[in-house]
Structure 1
Amino acid sequence: MLFYEPLFLFLFGPAVYLLYLFFGEVRARRAVILFAASVVFYAWSEPVFILLVFASVALDLFVAQRIAALSIGDPTVIPDASHKRSDRESRLASEAVSALDSRSGLRPAGNDMRKLWLALGVVANLAILVYYKYTGFLALNLDALLKALTLPGINIPQIALPIGVSFIVFEKITYLVDVYRGVTAPARSPLLYGLYVFFFPKLLAGPIIKYHDIARQFEAMPHADVDDFIVGFSRFMLGVVKKLLFADTLASGADLIFAHDVSSLGFAEAWAGVLFFTFQIYFDFSGYSDMAIGLARMFGFRLLENFNMPYVATSITDFWRRWHISLTSWIREYLYFPLGGNRRGEARTYLNLWICFFASGIWHGAAWTYIAWGAYNGVFLVLDRLFLVNRLQRAPDWLANVIAMIIVIVGWTFFRATSLTQAGALLALMANPWAHASAPVAIPPEYVVVALTAAAICVAQRLSLYVKDFNWGSAAQRYALASNSALSMLFLAALAKGLADPFKPFIYFRF
């Protein structure tokens, strides 16, 4: 079930919202309504996988209770005083545990058991991810290796990838780690934890919500008001416009180029295809985040932002502070810090950075192209820390932005390509202005118009940084009537396009 499908827009969404408003006088009842609606929403697309998620939720709850019980009297555990603990406080708590663990005379007897329970919970969740997402990829590569050694191959299992499995697994791991670190207490009821896992606005493609960031809201179960509806629905409409008018049109352009034989393409066609995808993935994924944040706000919940104008970045480090913020934050808190962060010397810091983004590439997909993309980003993050950021800071912002975007666009070529061979061939064409197409691709003019409009929006975002105290949200409020009227018309146009054209799933449904 997609957010912009008629089934959701005209039946499921309104029905759930009205139930929440008019039959949710009691906080517990609001939780039940949202949980039931979220389960139905996910079961509509994944009727079998949802049973496994229920089983893993039960395991999480049991493991968290065991960890919490063993934490009583443990001096390495900082008690949960508030769910508002910052990322920095969480890191310090984790570092305190690591420091005490390293001193043989100070390790409490229960700490080893807590680690074992945490390991059980994390491994069980990762096993779900590995089985569904990577079994086929591993088998395919093993089969190729065996055949290269003239040995009999193996059967390649066909395992369907459940929607949103990566997001679900990462969020469930945050809960277990948060309880282990003492950042949060175990969920007060199975219902609240189940709602955290299944909450339908963010369920399929994020943002990745850390348990300690939203636990207090789920316990309070806010009652939505008129302002929540207006702000939330406006944000939802913006997401639909981004997805249907921009991302889906740009997707058709990218598909047109990437489906062609690379040997018949030229410099212009290669750049056109990669630029189509560069804008497609931004408008597609940020559009989903807008819909998720808007829907949650309509029910009274505040989700953290996931994008902050990433294409105005002046370095790769700056780009990753602005792009998929929830994933970058997750990697920093649950992988980079446990690896040692920057506390073990420069060489180890560079290695940790690269490992984190190599892992990010693996998380994105079971293909060598994603692995190459993650390793590529990791290299440039290390180069940023070594010298590149300092060099870019000396250049004009616009030039630093252009250089950063070229690096990002090259990375997107790996991300979108169907193989490393195709990625290499496209990059070779993009580096050769004299390469001409042997069979020019006829690109419909509407694709070019939408791409130019998308580029103009990103340039406008860049220019807004030069206006003192400029804020897109406050500007929209200042001209609320005009902006809401324009957004409403674009929303209706987007729906009309969505009904006329075949539905295209969100890019990140595959992850």
Structure 2
Amino acid sequence: MLFYEPLFLFLFGPAVYLLYLFFGAAKARRALILLCASVIFYGWSEPVFVFVVFGSVALDLYVARKIAASPDSLILRSERSSRLEGGGRLSPSRFETRPSDAPQDEGDKARARWLALGVVGNLAILIYYKYTGFLALNLDAFLKALTLPGINIPQIALPIGVSFIVFEKITYLVDVYRGVTAPARPFLYGLYVFFFPKLLAGPIIKYHDIARQFEEMRHADMADFVAGFSRFMLGVVKKLLLADTLASGADMIFARDPSTLGFTEAWAAAMFFTFQIYFDFSGYSDMAIGLARMFGFRLLENFNMPYVATSITDFWRRWHMSLTSWIREYLYFPLGGNQRGEARTYFNLWICFLASGVWHGAAWTYVAWGVYNGAFLVLDRLFLLRRLERLPDWLANVVTMIVVIVGWTLFRATSFAQAGALLALMAQPWATASAPVAIPEEYVVVALIAAAICVAQRVSLFFEGFDWAIAAQRFALASNGALSILFIAALAKGLADPFKPFIYFRF
């Protein structure tokens, strides 16, 4: 079930919201309505995998209780009785510090073993559904290269949103282990995992960032509805009017044999996809944040004008911020961060983005994309950031975008051969196509509009002192009116054209 499908827009969404408004007088009832709606929403698309998620939720709850019950040195024993049973966040004053080189006692070891069980259990789900086929395919190729019999390649369907679900569940277990949060009540933890606005493609929400909101379960008001629905409409417009049109242009060129293309076609393919992935994914994030706001919840932002970045480091502070934050807190810091010398810092940065590439998809092109971005983050630390800071911001932005576009070409390509051929053409202005692609004018117009939006974001940085919030309030009626017209046009286009799933549904 997609957010912009008629089933959601005209039946599921309104029905859930009306139930929430008119039958959700009590907090417990509001939570029950949202949990049931979320399970139905996910079960509609994944009727089998939803039971796997239920089983893993039960494992998480059991493991979290075992972690909290083990003697430990993180949470003061005298304050165990004052824990927030509902899963609230514990204040930093409740923690003891322990030297990093202090020996672990039996309680520490028991907690670590339970955490390892929970993390491995969740990763096993991800590996089975997402990487079994990829691993089997590579093993088959390796065996055949040795003239040995190959193996059967299993066909395992990838459940929607499996990566996001697994990452969020690991977050909860690690937070309990660190003492950041107390074990959650089963009902609230189930709502956290299944909460339908962010379920399919994020943002990745840490349990401690939203636990208090689930406990309070405040009733949404009209201001929440207006702000939330406006944000939701913006996401639909981004997805249907911009991203889907750009997707058609990218698909048209990437489906061609690179040997028949030229310089212009290669750059057109790269630019189509560069704008497509931004408006597609940020569009989903807008829809998720907007829907959550309509029910009274505040989700953290996931994008902050990434295409105005003036370095790759800056880009990753702005792009998919929830993933970047997750990698920093749950992988980079445990690896040692920048506390173990420069060489180790560079290695940690690189390994984190290698992991990011693996997380994005089961293909060597995704791995290479992660290696590529990790390498530029290291280069930023070594010298590139200082060089870019000496340039005018607009020129640093152009240099950064070239690096980003090359990376997106590798990300979108179906093979290294295709990626290499397209990148080679992009470096040869004299290359002409043997069979030129007839790109429809509407695709070009939409690409220019997308580019103009990104340029406008760049220009807006020159007005940092301007209070955009006041301007938005002053022109709210006009902007929402224009947005409503675009929303209706987007729905009409969506009904007329075949549905295109969100890019990040595959991840």
Q: Fold-level match, TM-score > 0.5?
A: yes
What is aligned with 1:455?
Answer: 451
Q: What's 1:32 paired with?
A: 32
1:76 to 74, 77, 102: 74
Structure 1 residues 473 and 447, CA, compared in 2 at 3 Å: closer, same or farther?
farther
| SS of aligned partner of 1:465 | helix
Task: Report the Cα distance in structure 2 between the residues aligned to 1:352 and 1:83, rounded to whole angstroms.
Answer: 31
Match of 1:382 in 2: 378
The 8 Å contact of residues 464 and 470 in structure 1, kept in 2 or not, is answered as no
Aligned to 2:57: 57
Distance in 1, Cα, partners of 2:227 & 2:27 = 22
Runs (5+) with no aligned partner, structure 1 = none
Q: Provide the rounded CA distance (Å) in 2 between the counterparts of 1:477 and 1:510.
A: 37
Is 1:22 matched up with 2:22?
yes
TM-fit CA distance, 1:55 = 0.3
Measure how far apart 1:478 and its partner are: 2.3
Cα offsets for 1:137-173 (capped at 9, x unmatched): 0000011111111111110000000000000000000
CA distance in 2: counterparts of 1:385 and 1:93, whole angstroms: 33
Q: CA deviation at 1:109?
A: 2.5
Deviations 1:427-472 (A, max 9, x none): 0000010110000000000000000000000000000001132355
Matching residue of 2:132: 135
Distance 1:475 1:419, change over 3 A: farther
The aligned residue for residue 43 of structure 2 is: 43
Q: Which amino acid aligns with 1:295?
A: L
The one-letter amino acid paired with 1:76 is L
> Contact 2:20–2:30 at 8 Å: present in 1 too?
yes
In the superposition, the TM-score normalised over structure 2's length comes to 0.96
Identity among equivalent positions (%) equals 80
What pairs with 1:353-392 in structure 2 (closer than 5 Å)?
Answer: 353-392=349-388
Superposed displacement of residue 108, structure 1: 3.0
How many equivalent residue pairs? 500
Provide the C-alpha distance between the structure 2 equivalents of 1:33 and 1:191, rounded to a whole number of angstroms: 12
Q: Is residue 83–residue 213 contact of structure 1 (8 Å, CA) maintained in 2? A: no
Confirm or deny: 8 A CA contact 2:355 2:370 kept in the other structure: yes
Contact preservation (8 Å) 1:370, 1:415: yes
In the alignment, does 2:8 pair up with 1:8? yes
Q: Give the structure 2 partner of residue 177 of structure 1.
A: 174
Q: CA RMSD in A?
A: 1.7
1:146 corresponds to = 143
SS state at 2:70 partner: helix
The aligned residue for residue 152 of structure 2 is 155
Q: Distance in 1 between the 2:95 and 2:366 partners?
A: 33
| 1:469 equivalent in structure 2 | 465
Asked if the contact 2:198–2:288 (Cα under 8 Å) also holds between the matched residues in 1, the reply is yes
In structure 2, what is the Cα distance between the partners aligned to 1:291 and 1:184?
A: 28
Instruction: Spell out the pairing of 1:341-490 with structure 2 (5 A cutoff).
Output: 341-470=337-466, 472-490=468-486
Distance 1:33 1:322 in 2: 34
CA distance in 1, matches of 2:265, 2:24: 55
Distance in 1 between residues matched to 2:21 and 2:202, nearest whole Å: 25
Q: Deviations over 1:108-154 (max 9, x none)?
A: 32000000000000000000000000000000001111111111111
Partners of 2:468 and 2:431 in 1: CA distance: 41
The question of 1:117 aligning with 2:114 is answered: yes
Matched-pair contact (CA < 8 Å) for 2:310–2:396: yes
Identify if the C-alpha distance between structure 1 residues 236 and 274 changes in structure 2 by more than 3 Å, giving closer, same or farther: same
Decide whether aligned partners of structure 1 residues 18 and 250 sit closer, same or farther in structure 2, where only a CA change above 3 A counts: same
Q: Counterpart of 1:167?
A: 164
Alignment-derived partner of residue 293 in structure 1:
289
How far apart, in 2, do the equivalents of 1:129 and 1:226 lie?
39
Aligned 8 A contact 1:314 1:400 in 2: yes
Query: CA offset at residue 75 of structure 1?
Result: 2.4
Instruction: Tell me the CA shift for residue 23 of structure 1.
Output: 0.4
Secondary structure at the aligned position of 2:462 is classed as coil
Change in Cα spacing, 1:16 to 1:444, as seen in structure 2 (3 Å) is same
Alpha-carbon distance change, 462 to 181 in structure 1, aligned in 2, over 3 angstroms: same
Offset of 1:70 from its aligned partner?
0.9
Change in 2 beyond 3 A, CA 1:128/1:467: same
2:463 is paired with a residue whose SS is coil
TM-score by length of 1: 0.96
Aligned to 1:314, what secondary structure does the other structure show?
Answer: coil
Q: Measure the CA separation in 2 of the matches of 1:301 and 1:462.
A: 30
- Provide the C-alpha distance between the structure 2 equivalents of 1:85 and 1:69, rounded to a whole number of angstroms: 16
Give yes or no for contact 2:231–2:286 (8 Å, CA) kept in 1. Answer: yes
How far does residue 476 in structure 1 lie from its aligned partner after superposition? 2.4
- Corresponding residue number in structure 2 for 1:322: 318
Q: Is contact 2:231–2:290 with CA below 8 Å preserved after alignment?
A: yes
Contact 1:93 1:181 in 2 (8 A): no
Q: Is the 8 A contact 1:167 1:204 kept in 2?
A: yes
Preserved CA contact (<8 Å) 1:85 1:212: no
For 2:487, the equivalent position in structure 1 comes to 491
1:212 equivalent in alignment to 2:208: yes
